[in-house]
Amino acid sequence: MPELTSSQGWSYLQQSKLDRGSIFRSRPKISPAPLYKTYSGTSRYELPRPRNLQAPLFKALASRRSRRDYTGRIAIQELADLLWACQGITARVGKLGLRTAPSAGALYPLETYLLVLEAEGLPKGAYHFNCEEFSLELLQEGDFGKDMAGACINQQFLGQAGIDVCWSAVFRRSMSKYGHRGMRYILMDAGHACQNLLLAAEALRLAACPVGAFFDDEVNALFNLDGEEESAVYCASIGSRAD
């Protein structure tokens, strides 16, 4: 399998393996980054409290599909429920807020951004989800559906959704503790957050699709991310169901 073993992905997996020797070896020195990100000076939209829904988990697991046909608009209550499902704070240990999705070392390297294309009660635009406040911070008003579809390798359904979500990673949060291996944990965290959102969307009878195919720096540009300290790692589109 020489073509596999000469790939960068394979090299990374080899270099970030843990074994009984390497676990005690020193890791690259990477300074940490703050746990929370807040955009001060932006317009803030307080989200309604998430509903205490009782939807059956196994029903959502059995019926979840990647759905790419949307009728657009979603309600702000649905948006609040979805954001709570993917990164809501559900318990406190001192100052640390533990969330709906697990995170390696409780370091929470992900930030959640969204584009509102058609949502009741919110102007169209690019937002940051402030999970501490359970609010949205408006980064830039505007209709970015076409730009997002283009940035996601011309997948047109992203421009027809009610919202598009983008999870970014603040790499230092995990990599300052775990070194190279931290990158694995970051991507695992993203999978957890996205799956929570997909199952919540299914339980709410919304349509949602995970999206990993995107031009990284074009998605980064939509949320003003530098692509080095913080970069998009996973996206999803969500809208009302056509069927």
Ligand X SMILES: Cc1cc2nc3c(=O)[nH]c(=O)nc-3n(C[C@H](O)[C@H](O)[C@H](O)COP(=O)(O)O)c2cc1C
- Which positions from 192 through 221 interact with ligand X, judged by CB under 6 A? 209-213
Token representation of residue 77: 């209550």
DSSP-based three-state secondary structure for 80? helix
Q: Of 51 and 65, which has the nearer Cβ to ligand X?
A: 65
**Which residues share a beta bridge with 70?**
241
CB of 106 closer than 8 Å to CB of 112? no
Q: Of 42 and 231, which has the nearer Cβ to ligand X?
A: 231
Rounded CA-CA distance 186/173 in Å is 9
Shortest distance, position 237 Cβ to ligand X, whole Å: 9
What sign results for the dihedral spanned by CA atoms 227, 230, 231, 236?
Answer: negative
Token representation of residue 116: 């509102």
Q: Is 174 in the site for ligand X (CB under 6 A)?
A: no
- Which positions from 61 through 80 interact with ligand X, judged by CB under 6 A? 65-66, 68
Could you tell me whether strands 163-170 and 125-130 are parallel, antiparallel, or unpaired per DSSP bridges? unpaired
Shortest distance, position 90 Cβ to ligand X, whole Å: 24
Shortest distance, position 66 Cβ to ligand X, whole Å: 3
Q: Of 61 and 106, which has the nearer Cβ to ligand X?
A: 61
Shortest distance, position 239 Cβ to ligand X, whole Å: 14
Closest CA to 74 of 210, 165, 166: 165
Q: Of 130 and 237, which has the nearer Cβ to ligand X?
A: 237
Note the residues at the interface with ligand X (CB under 6 A). 65-66, 68, 155, 209-213
